[in-house]
Amino acid sequence: MNAIVKIKNQTPFIEVELNGKVQLGVNARDLHKMLDVKSDFSHWINRRIKQCGFEENYDFTKVVKKDELSKTGQWITEYIISVDMTKHLGMMERNAKGHEIRKYYIEQEELARQLKDGLQVRIGKLSAQLELITQGLSEAGRFLVVNGKQTKPTILKELDELIKEAQPSLDFDQDKNNDK
Averaged pLDDT score across all residues of the chain: 80
Calpha distance 142→125 (Å, rounded):
26
**pTM score, two decimals?**
0.54
Q: Report pLDDT digits (tens) over 84-111.
A: 898 899 888 888 888 888 888 888 878 8
Contact residues for 28 (Cβ-Cβ < 8 A; gap 6+) = 41, 45, 60, 78, 79, 80, 81, 86, 89
Q: Grade residue 11 by pLDDT with cuts at 50, 70 and 90.
A: low
Domain boundaries, the chain: 2-123
Q: Grade residue 7 by pLDDT with cuts at 50, 70 and 90.
A: very low
Region of poorest pLDDT, from 28-32, 33-37, 148-152: 148-152
